Amino acid sequence: MNDFIPEVLQAIPGEGYFIFVYFNDGTVRQYDASQLITQPGVFQKLQDLNTFRSCMTVLNGTVAWDLEGNRDETRCIDIDPFTVYDSPVVKDPLDNAQTA
């Protein structure tokens, strides 16, 4: 796995600024973005929890926020997938989802 490049397939907001991130190797990792959004720079725009949750998407193989709502990859905020991949592996939260 030396040449493995992590690719995000799905991202689901959790409690607060936690994100459940599904990778192309089958792992689910829990990324904590709370420190990221408090640092100076573009991520401060995500301090509003509504914006953080509602604009979250997956673009270019990583977690991203589409603040303008037009899916323009050049205008989104994103996180390096290697940074997210370094997060702890967790159980898939959707395994406990109730089916209707």
What would the 3-class secondary structure string for the chain be?
A: CCCCCCCEEEEEECCCCEEEEEECCCCEEEEECCCHHHCCCHHHHHCCHHHHHHCEEEECCEEEECCCCCCCHHHCEECCHHHHHCCCECCCHHHHCCCC
What dihedral do alpha carbons 4, 5, 7, 13 form, nearest 10°? 90
pLDDT of residue 54: 96
The structural domains of the chain, with segments of one domain joined by +, span: 8-93
**At residue 65, what are phi and psi to the nearest 5 degrees?**
-125, 120
Task: Write down the pTM of the prediction.
Answer: 0.89
> Is residue 1's pLDDT more than 90?
no
Decide if pLDDT at 97 tops 70: no
| pLDDT tens-digit map of 45-62 | 999 999 999 999 999 999
pLDDT beyond 80 at 2: no
- The matching CATH number, chosen from 3.40.50, 3.30.2020, 1.25.40, 3.30.390, for 8-93 is 3.30.2020
